[in-house]
Amino acid sequence: MKIAVLPGDGIGPEIVAQAVKVLDALRREGLNIELEQAPIGGAGYDAAGDPLPQTTLDLARAADAVLLGAVGGPQYDQLDRPLRPERGLLRIRKELNLFANLRPALLYPELASASTLKPEVVAGLDIMIVRELTGDIYFGQPRGIEMRGGERVGFNTMVYAESEVRRVAKVAFDISMKRGRKLCSVEKANVLECSELWKEVVIEVGRQYPEVELSHMYVDNAAMQLVRNPKQFDVIVTGNIFGDILSDEASMLSGSIGMLPSASLDLRNKGMYEPIHGSAPDIAGRDVANPLATMLSLGMMFRYTFADAAIADRIDGAVKRVIAQGLRTADIWTQGCERVSCSAMGDAVVGALG
């Protein structure tokens, strides 16, 4: 298992170091894991004048999976756009053709009070959102701002080829088979032709998965249902722009940004795994960041790229256990719990691996 480790900026190196402790523990058990580290984002710019240095991209291409911390920081905000840290991230996703973005929104019962919704609505929440990541209105042509009839007009194009819908739908059905066998496809087929095709293709793909209960929902209704009764969902599959909005909405149901992992996969299940949060420059270098989203991202790596559910379950289980033991980093701490540092949380997860 070749893993490219890209810590990035801000808290990135601190949180990734905790996940590497888990990998080291697995290596000591005899697992054949090769790790190689490279700079990305601001660190890439500092090292090579490029947020995605060629050597980093080569390493990521050669690896089976990529573990990423986070990128960005105020010291890079004045750089020209192509040199900004976030560009490195967009480029690596595109270069590796990571078209399927998996964002679980899950909430441990012990953390239910962190949500802005009532505990009974969100306790035990466990949704997987599969978002198409390389198509849709974000990439469609033509696009631009131009003068028409004496005023400026802005325009973008929502476009999906059926092959793009088919491959992401297949990923979502495969995941549904490993979970609750319930998939909801979200679009706006009552208004948009692009969505009409999306729905047709998802139904076609669904014929190969008769065990999965497929439903369809318009995006406006889905946005409402996610806060009304989020536990009705198991897996959601949707396009790039709808997924962008819904996955942020769903992640906030859990209230704690430091707990949420993500994966972005290519056609062969090679993936890049990263927490959904940013580089948190406000707390960087103080050993207080929450490393659990990164740990859970590592769990996803074993589940989806290495197809090793046993190790994935051990990592997820270890995170559950440290939460149940009452250990909390500052961001999720509440009265009566034990406040621990980022590195102590990392050690606790290693200790709880079982």
Q: Does 51 bind ligand NAD (CB under 6 A)?
A: no
Q: Map the footprint of ligand NAD across residues 172-191, applying CB under 6 A.
A: none
322, HSE (Cβ side, Cα atoms, 13 Å)? 31
Nearer to ligand NAD, 280 or 319 (CB): 280
H helices of the chain, in order, are 12-28, 42-48, 54-62, 85-95, 119-122, 162-178, 193-206, 219-228, 240-253, 292-300, 309-324, 342-351
Name the active-site residue from 138, 231, 287, 320. Answer: 138
Q: Does 260 bind ligand NAD (CB under 6 A)?
A: no
Measured CA to CA, the distance from residue 315 to residue 301 in angstroms comes to 11
Measured CA to CA, the distance from residue 129 to residue 239 in angstroms comes to 10
Name the active-site residue from 126, 174, 244, 287. Answer: 244
Cis peptide before 210 (omega within 30 of 0): no
**Minimum distance from CB of 220 to ligand NAD (Å)?**
26
> By rule CB under 6 A, what string of x and - marks binding of each residue 5-24 to ligand NAD?
------x---x---------
248 is catalytic: yes
**Minimum distance from CB of 153 to ligand NAD (Å)?**
29
Query: How many CB atoms are located within 10 Å of the residue 171 CB?
Result: 21
Q: Does 101 bind ligand NAD (CB under 6 A)?
A: no
Q: Which residue in 289, 311, 350, 352 binds ligand NAD (CB under 6 A)?
A: 289
Nearer to ligand NAD, 59 or 217 (CB): 59
Nearer to ligand NAD, 256 or 305 (CB): 256
Question: SS3 breakdown of the chain: % helix, strand, coil, rounded to 5?
Answer: 45, 20, 35
**Minimum distance from CB of 202 to ligand NAD (Å)?**
28
188 is catalytic: yes
DSSP secondary structure letter of residue 301? I
Q: Does 98 bind ligand NAD (CB under 6 A)?
A: no
Three-state secondary structure readout of 226-256: HHHCHHHCCEEEECHHHHHHHHHHHHHHCCC
Q: Map the footprint of ligand NAD across residues 308-337, applying CB under 6 A.
A: 331
Q: Which residue in 87, 131, 188, 277 binds ligand NAD (CB under 6 A)?
A: 277
Q: Does 298 bind ligand NAD (CB under 6 A)?
A: no
Nearer to ligand NAD, 260 or 350 (CB): 260
Q: Does 70 bind ligand NAD (CB under 6 A)?
A: yes
Are 172 and 209 in contact, with CB atoms under 8 Å apart?
Answer: no
For 201-222, letters b (16+ CB in 10 Å) and e give bbeebbeebeebebebbbbeeb
Measured CA to CA, the distance from residue 34 to residue 249 in angstroms comes to 36
Q: Does 195 bind ligand NAD (CB under 6 A)?
A: no
DSSP secondary structure letter of residue 197? H
Applying CB under 6 A, the residues found at the interface with ligand NAD are 11, 15, 70-73, 86, 89, 257-258, 274, 277-283, 289-290, 293, 331
Catalytic residues: 138, 188, 220, 244, 248
